[in-house]
Amino acid sequence: MEQKEILEGLRVYKKRFSKQYGILDIGVFGSVARGDYDNESDVDIVVRLQKQDLFLLAGLKYDLEETFHRSIDIVAYRDTMNPFLKKRIDREAVYV
């Protein structure tokens, strides 16, 4: 699956499920954003939600894994997150 296909899939997913999950922003970071991933790589997703809720995040992860048929690592973007991870996301993230 190409980066372009992943981003388009996220665009469609956001339009369809943004109200259900309260998605404000969603994108990729890590190997997919850098373009150096392969078929064995997971997809690193960053999401900003209206309401921080662990159960919503778990549901979102499950749905995205079903959608992309790949392992998904998902991170909720927030002000109080790990500063090193936040800096990496700020530098690499590609949002849809």
**Band of pLDDT at residue 39, cut at 50, 70 and 90:** confident
Phi, psi of 54 (to 5 degrees): -60, -35
Placement of tokens 């919503």 in the chain: 56
Spell out the domain ranges in the chain: 3-95
Q: 1.20.120.720, 3.40.190.10, 3.30.110.70, 3.30.460.10: which CATH number matches 3-95?
A: 3.30.460.10
pLDDT at 18 exceeding the cut of 90: yes
Q: Is the pLDDT of residue 1 over 90?
A: no
| Cβ contact 52:22 at 8 Å | no
Residues 10-23 have a mean pLDDT of 95
| pLDDT exceeds cutoff 90 at 73 | yes
Please compute the mean of the pLDDT values over residues 65-74 and round it to a whole number.
95
Average pLDDT over residues 30-39: 92
